[in-house]
Chain A
């Protein structure tokens, strides 16, 4: 089945130790997104790739970076995680450029804990 896969499902990292979260998709969607969701809050867009074009939200901290080496894969790098970065990180994909917004397909999410 076509899908969006995030790894790992749960990640525990030490304060200040770099961590990478991964996302892959078999939908061949041209747009990939990273959202951060804290408990009882709305998912917050960090950045997205439209094909190879990287788009950073104005309020995304510099501590967060992303890479998209090919259509199928996208990575979220947190260079120096702080306690405030503990959250669910959601990868999503969409098919853009058709004139219709079909919404997102989400991966299962990665729950990040910082100790």
Chain B
């Protein structure tokens, strides 16, 4: 099983709709979870972090974490064409040695928001 799995998409939603992006991870001891947005040809940009079970909201973005199911998701409300990008899920490598901070990335889900 891959360490961090995402549906590669593309996920296409109309402008103004809710986009739902999903991610599963394999390491049960992982403690930190992140969503990065990556525009084509650009580097990843951090948009959300979540550490505890439940929901975390920041503007139009909501991250959801369920550690028992090893599942993390990102909801984008009122999707805009400028949200069209690849969204990378990242999970910290779960050992507690020097690599505690290392992130393992999924391949990303490509989101397309149609006007």
Residues of A within 8 A of B (CB): 31, 33, 35, 40-43, 45, 48, 50, 53, 55, 88, 90, 94, 96, 100-109, 111
Contact = CB atoms under 8 A, between A and B. Distances in A.
Given A42-B4, A42-B105, A104-B103, A50 B46 contact: no
Contacts of A100: 32, 51
Given A45-B103, A48-B99, A109-B43, 9 more contacts: A31-B101, A33-B102, A40-B108, A42-B107, A90-B43, A101-B31, A103-B32, A103-B49, A103-B90
Given A103-B46, A104-B46, A43 B88 contact: yes
Contacts of A45: 102-104
Contact of B99 (A40, A55, A88, A90): A55
A73 to B, nearest CB: 18
A112 to B, nearest CB: 13
Contacts of B12: none
Nearest to A53: B98
Nearest to B101: A96
Contacts of A48: 99, 102
Chain B interface main SS type: loop
Contacts of B41: 111
Contacts of A106: 43-45
Interface of B: 4, 8, 31-32, 34, 41-46, 49, 51, 88, 90, 92, 98-108
5 contacts: A42-B4, A90-B43, A96-B100, A101-B32, A103-B46
B98 A41 contact: no
Given A48-B102, A55-B99, A103-B32, A42 B88 contact: yes
A48 B90 CA distance: 16
Nearest to A55: B98
Contact of B100 (A43, A88, A90, A101): A101
Contacts of A96: 100-101
B92 A101 contact: yes
Contacts of B92: 101
Contacts of B51: 100
